[in-house]
Amino acid sequence: MSDLADALWHSGWYRFARPLPSPNFGPRPAGAQIDLIVLHSISLPPGQYGGDEVQQLFTNRLDWEAHPYFEKIRGIEVSAHFYVRRNGELWQFVSCDDRAWHAGASSWRGRSNCNDDSVGIELEGLEGETFENAQYETLASLCPAIAQAYPTAFIAGHEHIAPGRKQDPGAGFDWRLLREQLGWDGAMFPAATLDA
């Protein structure tokens, strides 16, 4: 790890994220290459922003009876490495050295089980709706920081690694803007996003 990466990371925890450890993680397989960033979108209840329900879900503290929608997801144990609020605020739930439970059944670059070798970033939002400039600004600093610490070669949406099963972050996500902000080679992105 470079000196800059050492300054930004401590045991897989990013210096500029607000830590809130989740119990929903496990070890990565031996020899895992952490070379994929997966972007998701989430809001609880769907389409409602600003509450603490996502943090509660990722730490197994969500009150299942607080909203009728929560009955549909009662008992699930999930997490992501990062969560980006609408205002750009960044939370971290799992060390990037560990395996967060964000991708489920998935496949990318000829490998299945993307949880094994990816970093999951949840954006507060709803698939198909747009995201805030502050969220793109956070991604524009977070993704390069991840790439300084891990051998990042790809970035994709949940919809790309689990097509037909997932649709997030969806059509409202501006892949062109993210590519411009990151300045990364187009080969790192899903082909479907290059015309976006």
Q: Which entry of 53, 122, 124, 127 is annotated as an active-site residue?
A: 122
Distance CA 26, CA 154 (A): 22
**Could you identify the residue written with the tokens 């909203």?**
67
Active site residue 53: no
Distance CA 121, CA 14 (A): 13
Length of the chain: 196
Among the residues of the chain, which ranges form H helices? 3-8, 53-58, 133-149, 158-161, 175-182
162 touches 103 (CB < 8 A): yes
Structure pTM? 0.96
Distance CA 52, CA 64 (A): 13
- What tens digit of pLDDT does each residue of 26-74 get? 999 999 999 999 999 999 999 999 999 999 999 999 999 999 999 999 9
- What tens digit of pLDDT does each residue of 73-82 get? 999 999 999 9
**Domain extent listing, the chain:** 3-193
CATH of domain 3-193: 3.40.80.10
